[in-house]
Structure 1
């Protein structure tokens, strides 16, 4: 009976040692077992305490690992790794899209424009040619600008939209009408500026320019001309491109048969850009009354007006 009890105790002790994977911290050894009787409650208590201690140790270790995993997950939620598409920071002009090339973003000509079946989406260009959409015009200009396949005419690098809709027959602008057009244009610019001021649709900077034009006749036409020139200069490069003239050309082309030749005449040196001096000369304003006052220019490096 005593030998059977000893074998049972040895088995339990061996099992506890295997589960702990470490015998260095045993509470008692084999020689201690011999000192206990089979009915010794102290022996059973110590054995149970040892097993409980090992169980608690394993539970604590498991809880610690679970807490570490939870902390890592929370850190990932609080500090997520956001992958930024380089193309999101790349601004491409009209007719161009961003694509990755050798892990670097670059602007390329838009590969395909959507088909437009609605004739109201057609556009008329400065060549008095009808194109299916504004996208098609911008795409063509890009292809010619980059000398890519698909360019129909090298001159299309300067292709721009005159107005939306199918081209209508161009009307001639008689010399007499052209002669009077700058005056009517000055008057129209001032009236538009005043109307926007009355509707509180001008920035504070331009509101001040409009008030000055209202109270000082010497600034009446000049301020209106400078305001519109600054307004048209979308890329703020201190010149207005043929493309940037679209907002002023498109709404007037059906009403003013002289608007197209008038704007063409403003580009005196034919570089497809209109400086403030060229704009003023076109409106028959003296250079000395022109003063660049675009509100986005602050402490800029001085540059020539012409």
Structure 2
């Protein structure tokens, strides 16, 4: 900033010297200076001319000071255009656009064309869509009654799992009996992997370290971590919607995940408490130390 002011000051100073030299010649012909009334004495003439130049210099200095003040004001108080859409959340399938100088959420007009089959998604209506964007867009169109809606019922559809729709495999017998163990191991391995990549908050990291050094806390800490992580609205229960991040990626890989999660909701109220979560993972309720307050109060801080 100091360099900027120095360059600006030198530039204006040089400009004032050039103008001063030009103005002296102009002032000799200035109508305000009546040369017929000046004594032929050269000293008197020079004195009057010097006074005239001093007045001009003062006026010029005031003009320069005013310009500098304007520049300083603009630097310290820049005009910032606020994008009202930046602070507006529209949700999946919608974007913010300005209408009559006001932000408004509208259905996303176009989804990227997907050629990767890994981007395919299967909805709860057992219909394959090219991407999650196309599902959310269709849901928005149907919810808003727009021409792009192919079926009014699509206003309530959601992604069931990633990948093309397929015939569900039954989970029974030994597969179903052994799944809680596989689920516990999977939760702990995911937690460990995130810790190794420094992608856990400080409190999650402490829980993972405790699980590493205390075998009695190995599975229970991983279970509590994931349950707290899924409880996005912090109401001490996990809804079907909040289960999406754990269900959708696994359905096409693990055929027992859907019936397992259904079994966790023992009272069929469409919500899973920590006690229910621990029970379906076959954990001792005494080992489930509820630490969500500590976790959720913690500021996100990646270690490492």
Say whether the fold is shared (TM-score over 0.5): yes
Match of 2:22 in 1: none
Match of 1:170 in 2: 168
Match of 1:19 among 4, 16, 32: 32
- Helix, strand or coil at the partner of 1:128: coil
1:143-292 counterparts in 2 under 5 A? Answer: 143=141, 146-149=143-146, 150=149, 152-154=151-153, 156-157=155-156, 159-163=158-162, 165-174=163-172, 177-194=175-192, 196-197=194-195, 202-214=200-212, 219-233=217-231, 238-267=236-265, 274-285=272-283, 287=285, 289-292=287-290
Count matched residues.
Answer: 267
CA offset digits 1:160-218 (Å, max 9, x no partner): 2511x322332222355334322332233234434555666544423332344456555
- Helix, strand or coil at the partner of 2:135: helix
| Structure 2 gap ranges (5+) | 1-28, 299-304
Match of 1:93 in 2: 91
- Helix, strand or coil at the partner of 1:297: helix
| Cα pair distance change 1:138/1:182, threshold 3 Å | same
Match of 1:115 among 113, 116, 134: 113
Match of 2:65 in 1: 67
| Cα pair distance change 1:85/1:197, threshold 3 Å | closer
| Structure 1 gap ranges (5+) | 1-14, 21-25, 300-306
Which of structures 1 and 2 has the bigger CA Rg?
Answer: 1
Contact 1:98 1:107 in 2 (8 A): yes
Match of 2:53 among 52, 55, 69: 55
Structure 1 segments, 4+ long, off by >6 Å, are: none
TM-score by length of 2: 0.68
TM-score by length of 1: 0.68
CA offset digits 1:107-146 (Å, max 9, x no partner): 44323323334434322234332111111122234445x4
- Helix, strand or coil at the partner of 1:19: coil
